[in-house]
Amino acid sequence: MAGYRSVMTSRPTAAEIEAAKDRTIPDVVPPRGGVLLCGINPGLYSAATGCHFARPGNRFWPALHRSGFTDRLLTPAEQHLLPSYGLGITNLAARATSQAAELTVAELAEGGARLETFVEEHAPRVVAVLGVTAYRTAFGRRSARIGPQEFTLGGARLWILPNPSGLNAHYTADALAAEFRLLRAAVAAGGAVTT
């Protein structure tokens, strides 16, 4: 299944969204020493547009801005600007689904191994996985919690953030931004991303 090669700037149609099943989205590679944000997998809306976290109502881009990672609210179509902020984006599982629950345990475990290889190759200073349940499944760490982790991943410090999907009712937009802000503060403090 080929990845979507260009970024759509208008809203996709229902047919375009349905046709996006199993597509992939290219990674946005962070600069060496930057922060790699890792989603669970692309939703169909994101795969149809070619942009990470593109569905209206997803709180990723507002949380990124409200936490101070970006100086303005970027649109999903501006994801190519993230490396200039020291950021990048990838996913644990590459294939697009209508819900992350459609992913198998094996897919998430394979994604965890792929993520570690990606981190070793691109050398971000910090990896932040957006979704504690997906992280637990991918890495077999059932006791993991939101926040800094005691483990590293491919030589990078590891942090877990809440899933920014609008479906994640456990976190309000303010609470989500606060968690992103804690990571931002640790990064700004010179890499003191510790437990």
Residue-level length of the chain: 195
Q: pLDDT band at residue 38, thresholds of 50, 70 and 90? A: very high
Res 6 pLDDT > 70: no
Q: Domain containing 158 — which CATH number? A: 3.40.470.10
pLDDT in tens, 81-105: 999 999 999 999 999 998 888 999 9
Asked whether 24 and 96 are in contact (CB, 8 A), the reply is yes
Give the domain extent around 22.
14-188
> What predicted TM-score, i.e. pTM, was given to this entire model?
0.90
pLDDT in tens, 10-22: 789 889 988 888 8
Structure tokens at 74: 């970027």
pLDDT in tens, 131-152: 999 999 999 999 999 999 999 9
Task: Please indicate, yes or no, if residue 9 is contained in any of the structural domains.
Answer: no
Question: How many domains in the chain?
Answer: 1
Task: Please indicate, yes or no, if residue 79 is contained in any of the structural domains.
Answer: yes
Asked whether 40 and 154 are in contact (CB, 8 A), the reply is no
Task: Please indicate, yes or no, if residue 7 is contained in any of the structural domains.
Answer: no
The kind and range of the H/E element at 183 are helix 173-188
Task: Please indicate, yes or no, if residue 194 is contained in any of the structural domains.
Answer: no
